[in-house]
Amino acid sequence: MLQHLAIHNYALIADVELDLSEGFTVLTGETGAGKSILLGALALVMGAKADTRTITEGEEKCVIEATFVDKGEELIIRRELNRNGRSRSFVNDEVVSMAELKTLSARLIDIHSQHQNLLLADSGFQIDVVDAIAQNIAEREAYTAAYEAYLAAAAALSDLQAQATKAQRDADYVLFQLNQLQEANLQEGEQEELEQEEYTLSHAEDIRLSLQRAYNMLDGGEQSLLQILREIDLSAASQELQERLQSSYIELKDIAEEANSRMNAIEDDPRRLAEVQERLMLIQTLLRKFGCRTISELLAEQAKLERQSQLLEHFDEEIERLTEQKQQAYRQMAQTADKLTQSRKAVCQPIAERLIADLSQLGIAHAKMEVSITPAEEYTATGHDIVDFLFAANLGQSLQRVADVASGGEIARIMLSIKALTAATSALPTIIFDEIDTGVSGSVATRMGDIMRRMGQSRQVIAITHLPQIAAYGEQHVKVYKQDTKTRTETHISTLTAEQRVTEIATMLSGNTPTASAMQNAQELIEATCNR
């Protein structure tokens, strides 16, 4: 339940603190006194979108803090809004996100405003009402799981079919590209080897002359380097130096022989050069065509094309498998939907009977109600049902959809009856009615007050009302009023004493200056509610 509400610098409210009790609380006040401001502040702590224009003019920051007691645990929700647009939310002084705040508040409080009467035209709302009475959480969860599994199976099949269509369309091109790469018979490192071979073949004469000159200088006669080294003898001076000289001689001798061998091996081979150049040209063409930089990347592309080609051969088999999987998911979804439908149909008659009984008390003596469930064209997130609340207010009238035939006052009474019906199965500890009495008066208002007080026996109910008949039923009475200071008009909130409550209800009955008879009527009205 909502135990305490503190508002600082919100719209016309400078500083207000309000303690709320269990049971049925009524909020009254003149039109424009600020009752909607109070709800706006409460909506902020429930995660509503922040608007800096709601900060009191001349102030930099507004703070709204609500204290709830939920299953014995105290939860303090605080929302802070700064003039710069920054908004922060806290639960027990820990920062929370807007999503977390909305999730938490959704299980703490339900605000029913006048525009929510339009929900009677929403099939989804009517399904939720039926499910709340049926208490079919297990059936609905089973269906949701099966529905999501079916959607996933259908999506997987659709994606694969799209891939198959595209692959088939591209099949010829894929095979053409693959054949090009396979016929090329590319090898890792091949390009580097061919480039080296091309260089050698293209510069054969220059390389041969270079090797000839090197050989001659090393071992080509009496003045060659090796001949000179043979004549040097350092053994007498240093055996170590002599050994190093001998090692150098052996190494240079080996180099000279290698140079001579390579020189003799080099031959002009224009035919081979043409083959190498043609091969390199093919590799360069393939690199450009496939947008690759190396043969390794070309080989990776070839492997990719091979996988695509193989996949073409397996599409039919995979599509058949996913088709069967989708069919199985559909059957499971249909089975769980049938169970969900049966759970709903089981409570349709009791719902209608209870609503008729309440509407009769609320002045619609000949009300007829029926909860109609018909199959939907397709399976949806809520099942395979279209739920319609059908209504007739008078004798001789045929049942039609509530939203099509009910007047504003009738819709208000139907919504109150629905709220009273679902309250018994709802875990929400607090329900707020914002002028649900619109369009009603007199004895109907009295009965509405009685219903709301009875609802307050199992949860906290708060009603904003302009009707004295409903206000008289309040176990706690809170008044919202405006007061002028030297600089501005401010909204204030106060909890009325028993005497103040009589005066307030008398004012609602007769005007700003209640007469003695109005005071007497107010007292009698309050006493009458105690005897019901």
Measured CA to CA, the distance from residue 133 to residue 141 in angstroms comes to 16
Token match 């600082």: residue? 8
Measured CA to CA, the distance from residue 37 to residue 330 in angstroms comes to 50
Residue 114: predicted pLDDT: 63
The DSSP output letter for 271 is: H
CB 509 within 8 A of CB 524: no
E-strand ranges in 349-421 read 368-380, 383-392, 400-401
Measured CA to CA, the distance from residue 411 to residue 303 in angstroms comes to 69
Measured CA to CA, the distance from residue 239 to residue 420 in angstroms comes to 117
Measured CA to CA, the distance from residue 198 to residue 201 in angstroms comes to 5
Measured CA to CA, the distance from residue 302 to residue 179 in angstroms comes to 9
**By three-state DSSP, how is residue 496 classified?**
coil
Q: Where are the domains of the chain?
A: 1-108+429-437+458-495, 150-320, 498-532
pTM of the complete model beyond 0.95: no
CB 368 within 8 A of CB 391: yes
The separation between CA 95 and the C-alpha centre of its own chain, rounded to angstroms, equals 20
Question: What is the dotted CATH code of the domain comprising 1-108+429-437+458-495?
Answer: 3.40.50.300
Which residue, 238, 259, 256, is CA-closest to 248? Answer: 256
What's the chain's Rg over C-alpha atoms?
Answer: 45
Q: Which two tokens stand for residue 66?
A: 């609500």
* Residue 267: other Cβ atoms inside 10 A: 9
The separation between CA 494 and the C-alpha centre of its own chain, rounded to angstroms, equals 41
Residues for the chain: how many in total? Answer: 532
With 0-12 CB in 10 A as exposed, 13-18 as middle and 19+ as buried, what is 284? exposed
Q: Are β-strands 460-464 and 24-28 bridged in parallel, bridged antiparallel, or unpaired?
A: parallel
End-to-end Cα separation, the chain, in angstroms: 25
Rounded to 5 degrees, φ, ψ at 380 are: -125, -175
What stretches of 75-220 show up as alpha helix (H) in DSSP?
98-106, 123-134, 137-184, 190-202, 204-219
Q: What is the pLDDT along the chain (532 residues), one digit of tens a residue?
A: 899 999 999 998 989 999 999 999 999 988 888 888 888 889 898 888 888 888 998 889 999 999 998 888 999 999 999 998 899 999 999 999 998 998 888 888 888 876 666 667 778 889 989 998 999 999 999 999 999 999 999 999 999 888 888 777 777 788 888 889 989 898 998 888 888 878 877 777 778 788 888 888 888 777 788 887 887 877 777 888 888 888 888 888 888 888 888 877 777 778 888 888 888 899 999 999 989 989 999 999 999 888 877 776 678 888 999 999 999 999 999 999 999 999 999 999 999 999 999 898 888 889 999 999 999 999 999 999 999 999 999 888 899 998 888 887 888 888 888 888 887 777 678 888 887 777 777 888 888 888 899 888 888 999 999 899 999 999 999 999 998 888 888 899 999 999 999 999 999 888 778 888 888 998 988 888 876 6
Which residue, 298, 215, 292, is CA-closest to 254? Answer: 215
Token match 């303090």: residue? 76
Measured CA to CA, the distance from residue 211 to residue 357 in angstroms comes to 116
Measured CA to CA, the distance from residue 17 to residue 6 in angstroms comes to 4
**By three-state DSSP, how is residue 207 classified?**
helix
Token match 């349709």: residue? 348
Q: Which two tokens stand for residue 197?
A: 């071979």
Residue 118: predicted pLDDT: 63
